[in-house]
Each structure stands twice: as C-alpha cells, then as structure tokens.
Structure 1
Amino acid sequence: MEKSIHSFEIVDDNIIVKRIDKSLLTYGEIRIPNYLRDFFHFHEMEKHDRWDIRITYNKIDYYGVLYLDDYKRLRGKLRWGKDLTRELSNVTSKYVFESYGYDIKEENVPLLRLEKIDRQTFVADVIFPEDVERDAKEYMLHADKFIYGIKARFENDPEIRMKVLKQQGMSCAICGFNYENFYGNVGRGYIQIHQIIEDEMKMDEFDVEKDFIPICENCHGLIHRNKEEDLSVSELKQIIHIRHELRKTEKE
C-alpha cells in the first residue's frame, strides 16, 4: 500500500514516487534516504561499488549511476546525465522555479515515478497533479464524449486517478500508447482511466490497484463500443497481440 515519507512515496516494492525539486533539476541527482536503501539494493553493494543504471523515459534510454557516499550508514545517491535532466527540466521547471512566473503550489509540483525492473533498470514517468485534477473535471463536463456508463463516475474521481497513475504510470495498460511520447507537450499528463470490474460496488470495496487501469482513448472506446457486451481488457490485449504477430509474419 502507499506510504508517504517526506518528498518520497513508496507505492509498492517496485515503485516509488518523488516530488520533483530544485536539487533534482539542478544537479540531476536524488539523495537516497535510509528508508529507501533496500529499494535500491544498497545492502548488496560493496564499499566502492558504482552500479551503472538505465532509466527509460518517454521510450528513450538514459544512463546514470547508483553509488554509496557513506558506506557505514548505507547512504547513497542516484545520479544521471545532463540529457535526462534537460528533458525533465523542459516539462517541470515552471512548477519548481519561481523565475518562471508560475503560481507555485506544493500540491501542483510534478511527481517523478520510478518503477524498478531490476536493481539496475528503471522506467520513469512524470505525473502532473494539476493535469489529473483538470482532466477529471473536463471529463465530467463532457459526459456525452467521455462517460460510457454508470461506473465512469469512479473513473473520473481525481483521487482514484492519481492512485492509478502512481501505481501504473502514464502509458495505456493495454496497447502501451503514451500521449506525451507521441504528441509532445500537448499530450503531457493525458490518459484516461478504465474500471475493470463489472459489478457495481461501494467505494470501500474497490481495490484501486487491481480494479482500474490507465487506458488510451482508442482502447477505451473499443472496450465500450458494444453497449450490450463490453470487450474485456484481456480480450483486447489478445487481439492486439495477434495483430502484432500477423504484421511480423507479413514482413518476413
């Protein structure tokens, strides 16, 4: 379950969320506090180890290093190159530095989501709380376009949306489409939420981690296209997989 400590949030054993701050954008590094040393496997490090790491952001691979600067206390840093710092700065600086003239509010500061694939491989996303709140309101204003049934009232709840994005990231859980990667800044922070479960239940019976997924508008529309019987997530994934394999065969 989610656990918030200082500027970090531990989502689960393989996912953390970090509030982006001036130090991260200025120096391209994160100082790892003691309570996250197991997440980064510092207990497996020798005194002078420096692990080369790969961070995938917007489908581009960037490289960095994990190392201990205090071996006795198992304290260390995660650092990356100027190229990733530049990419993160391009989309988040106005929320962090006063010189941009933006009305900075702590609750609107973007969040860096890091998903650990293994101890030296990570996938990064940036979540924009301001966009999560705005999109939820926009969906409710355009019910004819975005609402597919009674369950959608939960899909548009800002709190649920934020939890789903922290847990699963900004790409479609069915086809992998990422709006920012494809459209650039105009697609930043955009994704819909799909409620997988079919039965109407009370809010306290939902498992946000299992019952909701981020989803692109194309997949969402196809799932709900037949009003008599929705496609399931697994069925649509299978269709996409089969089509992908057929295209590979045709090319060969």
Structure 2
Amino acid sequence: MQKSFNSFEVVDEQIIIKRIDKSLLTYGEIRIPNYLRDFFHFHEMEKHDRWDITIHYNKTEFYGVLYLDDYKRLRGKLRWGKDLTRELSNVTAKYVFESYGYEIREESTPLLRLEKIDRKTFNADIIFPEDVERDAREYMLHADKFIYGVKARFENDPDIRMKVLKLKGMSCAICGFNYENYYGDVARGYIQIHHIIRDENHMEEYDIEKDFIPICENCHGILHRNKENNLSVSELKQIIKLRHELRKTEKE
C-alpha cells in the first residue's frame, strides 16, 4: 500500500517515509499534513494537548512531542530535541545543504523511516537511496555460489530492495542485527535482502511483504548453507531463540 504525497510516502498503516530536508534538520520538526492526521491520531487530541513521544533511533531513546497547531483542520507537528537533530544531521546533512560541496540530487536524498509501535512510540531508520543502489551492484559482482538466477536478480534489484527496506527497515529480520548500530557510519545503509521462494514454479511472481526480508550476512549464509535442505526463516529464528534461552539458563 505504498502511496506518495510530496515528501511523504505512506508504506502501510504503521509506516511512513519522510524525505529529509533542510527544515527537518534545521528546526528538528516535521509539519504533519492533513492526510496523515489519522496516522498520528490527531483526531484523538484535544485543542491544547501535547503528547510526549519516544523515538528509538540507533539504539538510543529520544524524546519529542506531537501537538496540533491548527485544531480546526487537525494539522499539527512532530518535534524532537537537539540531540536527535544532531544525530540525523551527522549522517544526512551533506545530502541536504549545498555548503558541504556535495551534488544535491533529490533521488539521493536520505529518507527517514518512521514505524509506529503505538501512538506515542516510534522506531526510526534512515534509508540512503544511493547506498541501496550501489550495494545492489556490488553484491551482484561478488554473489556467492549459493545465490543464483532469478533469486539473485530479485534480491539485488534496487527497486525491490528499496521497497523491502521501506516496509521492513534496516535490521536483520531474523536476529535483529543492525550494521550501522554496530559498526557506525562505515556500515551506513548496509543490509542484504533474502528472497523467500514459496513456489519454485512461479519464481517470477512475488509479493514484497511475504517474499522478502532484510537479512544480515551471517543469517543469509546459514539459510543457504545446505542447498539440498535449506533452513526456513522460521526455523532459523527458532534456533536463535533456543540458543538465547540456553545461554540465559547457563548464566543463571
């Protein structure tokens, strides 16, 4: 259900994408257009309400506020503090401000992905379109022997990768690993994509939500390790869960 409205894109009922711009980095706020009022539950707010919210980004909790600045039209703002603005600016400013000497191109502008956990809690990711495209090209050049044919083409198609990351974020869907959180800016925007093949007779047909997940190299390698008897995503998740429980028991 991906729909675009100016600098916003509605991915589904829980996720929106905002193209990062000068206003966002300068003032630390987003003006919420009328068509997103239900996403932010503005219809539940009274005239002078200010909701304190939590934004999780890069393994850190940041605090912000949602409020209406036009009660009659149910239009409002999402504002956060200087600490989150600084974090976002550190990795995106060169794509937005001409003073950095970087060629400003709309298609390269980073995207802020907001996933709503509840009406006052959000997870945030930054997606870098040029990194998505570059990684797709590089991965095809160095794809291992387990990745082949239609599967490789889909997993490394820039358009498919972008849709998957917008929908599912930048962390491994199996173990939760996030490259940027662990390695810092050098791993910014890096993650692989796994194509879940449900029917080998219809591999050219796919569903972004059901057939693809973001995945770290470790989990991806394990899924493909035994070509004759590949593990499923749910099986590998269960293995990791059991290992965590075992280690927890041993520590106790």
Q: What TM-score do the two structures reach when normalised by structure 2? A: 0.97
Which position in structure 1 is the counterpart of 2:196?
Answer: 196
Q: Are residues 1:130 and 2:130 paired?
A: yes
Matches within 5 A, 1:147-158: 148-150=147-149, 151-158=151-158
Distance in 2 between residues matched to 1:110 and 1:30, nearest whole Å: 15
Which position in structure 2 is the counterpart of 1:117?
Answer: 117
Q: CA deviation at 1:143?
A: 2.8
Deviations 1:215-242 (CA, angstroms, capped at 9, x unpaired) = 0000000000012111100000000000
Letter in structure 2 aligned against 1:148: I
Q: CA deviation at 1:198?
A: 4.1
Distance in 2 between residues matched to 1:223 and 1:109, nearest whole Å: 33
Deviations 1:144-175 (CA, angstroms, capped at 9, x unpaired) = 37x52331211000000000000000000000
CA RMSD of aligned residues (A): 1.0
Which position in structure 2 is the counterpart of 1:51?
Answer: 51
Which position in structure 2 is the counterpart of 1:250?
Answer: 250
Letter in structure 2 aligned against 1:159: D
Q: CA deviation at 1:251?
A: 1.4
Which position in structure 1 is the counterpart of 2:20?
Answer: 20
Distance in 2 between residues matched to 1:90 and 1:212, nearest whole Å: 30
Which position in structure 1 is the counterpart of 2:9?
Answer: 9
Q: Are residues 1:104 and 2:114 paired?
A: no
Deviations 1:10-38 (CA, angstroms, capped at 9, x unpaired) = 00000000000000000000000000000
Distance in 2 between residues matched to 1:149 and 1:232, nearest whole Å: 18
Q: CA deviation at 1:209?
A: 1.2
Query: Would the aligned equivalents of 2:140 and 2:152 in 1 still touch at CA under 8 Å?
Result: no
Structure 1 runs not aligned, ≥5 long = none
Structure 2 SS opposite 1:38: coil
Structure 1 SS opposite 2:117: strand
Deviations 1:75-99 (CA, angstroms, capped at 9, x unpaired) = 1000001010000000000000000
Distance in 2 between residues matched to 1:45 and 1:178, nearest whole Å: 35
Letter in structure 2 aligned against 1:121: T
Letter in structure 1 aligned against 2:215: I
Q: CA deviation at 1:199?
A: 2.7
Distance in 1 between residues matched to 2:210 and 2:29, nearest whole Å: 32
Q: Percent identity?
A: 82
* Structure 1 runs, 4 residues or longer, greater than 6 Å off: none
The number of equivalent residue pairs is 250
Moved more, 211-220 or 192-201: 192-201
Distance in 2 between residues matched to 1:104 and 1:141, nearest whole Å: 28
Q: CA deviation at 1:196?
A: 1.1
Structure 1 SS opposite 2:144: helix
Q: What TM-score do the two structures reach when normalised by structure 1? A: 0.97
Distance in 2 between residues matched to 1:149 and 1:234, nearest whole Å: 22
Deviations 1:89-127 (CA, angstroms, capped at 9, x unpaired) = 000000000000011110000000000000000000000
Distance in 2 between residues matched to 1:224 and 1:120, nearest whole Å: 39
Structure 2 SS opposite 1:143: coil
Distance in 2 between residues matched to 1:7 and 1:44, nearest whole Å: 25
Structure 2 SS opposite 1:46: coil
